[in-house]
Structure 1
Amino acid sequence: MNLKISGHHLEVTPALREYVITKLDRVLRHFDQVIDGNVVLSVDNYKEKDKRQKVEVSLHLKGKDIFVESANGDMYAAIDLLVDKLDRQVVRHKDRLQGHQHDALKYQEAAPAAEAPPQ
């Protein structure tokens, strides 16, 4: 998987980068057909005391693009919330791909053939 991690009004430290990578490994454990991903870590300063840490992820999967965002006062907590949301969406997408709502034709009962009129 190609993963791009960037920061907006924030310097992405090696520890933060490693934390994001280890958390996203959980998603890859459930679904290995992830093509690439883009992670944006940002800080919004509303006031000096109110800093909101925000994380956005855009994943390009085989057959679908998934976008998830999360915000919290702590960056690590925001990443944890984001990975939980992302994991639920990826597992739901995988279930839809592998859904077996219909039985195979060979296991369905054949409809009784209409009797031919006598000749």
Structure 2
Amino acid sequence: MNISIVGRQLELTEPIKSYIENAFETLGKYNLDIISGRCVVSADEKQGRKGFNAEFALNMAHKDTIVIRQKDKDLYAAVDLAIDRASKVLRREHDKKITVKGKDDGKEVRARIAEEPVEGVDEIIPMELELYKPLEIEEALEHLKNSEMQFYVFNDIDAKMRVIYKRADGKFGLY
């Protein structure tokens, strides 16, 4: 990231420059491809009161430029407040980037599982469960007895997810 620090009506000392450079470095944790950052610090005196303005401009690849202006009596406080606001904006952008990537609802993972062979297992066939209709336990037991499945997953009348299964001794178990 290219960093530019400018002082208007203010002499920039080395501690101020290094403080602003460190502030820019904290913005790198969001991995958002920030091309350049510019900070303009200016002294402002209105009606006999001194104050400082800090303006940060962040140029990002494939995004609009983010500009944040902050005023305060203390220069370091103005820089800190501006960086906090920039962090919030960059965190939102980072979260958008993550949620857009994860929009496939697991279809890609299920497809990859179906294609990959698993050691010791001939073939895994993904199935969709029919959990939309609540069943009595007796109905689920009949369904399991009439099929060749080892277990059956269902929602009972109280909307609890239950599993009924065949035991090795020929009886049935219920979770």
Q: What is the TM-score with the length of structure 2 in the denominator?
A: 0.57
Report what 2:21 is aligned to.
21
Q: Which of 5-14 and 92-101 deviates more?
A: 92-101
Note the aligned Cα RMSD (angstroms): 2.0
Q: Counterpart of 1:81 in 2: which secondary structure?
A: helix
Residue 53 (str. 1) matches residue 52 (str. 2): yes
Tell me how far apart the structure 2 counterparts of residues 102 and 51 of structure 1 sit (CA, whole Å).
54
Report what 2:105 is aligned to.
103
Tell me how far apart the structure 2 counterparts of residues 31 and 40 of structure 1 sit (CA, whole Å).
24
Superposed counterparts of 1:1-119, under 5 Å: 1-48=1-48, 50-64=49-63, 65-99=65-99, 100-103=102-105, 105-106=107-108, 107=110
Q: What is the TM-score with the length of structure 1 in the denominator?
A: 0.81
Moved over 6 A (4+): none
Q: Counterpart of 2:10 in 1: which secondary structure?
A: coil
Query: For structure 1, which runs of at least 5 residues remain unmatched after alignment?
Result: 111-119
Query: For structure 2, which runs of at least 5 residues remain unmatched after alignment?
Result: 112-126, 129-175
Contact 2:45 2:51 in 1 (8 A): yes
Kindly provide the amino acid, as one letter, of the partner of residue 60 in structure 1: N
Query: Matched residue pairs, number?
Result: 109
Report which of the two structures shows the higher radius of gyration computed on alpha carbons: 2
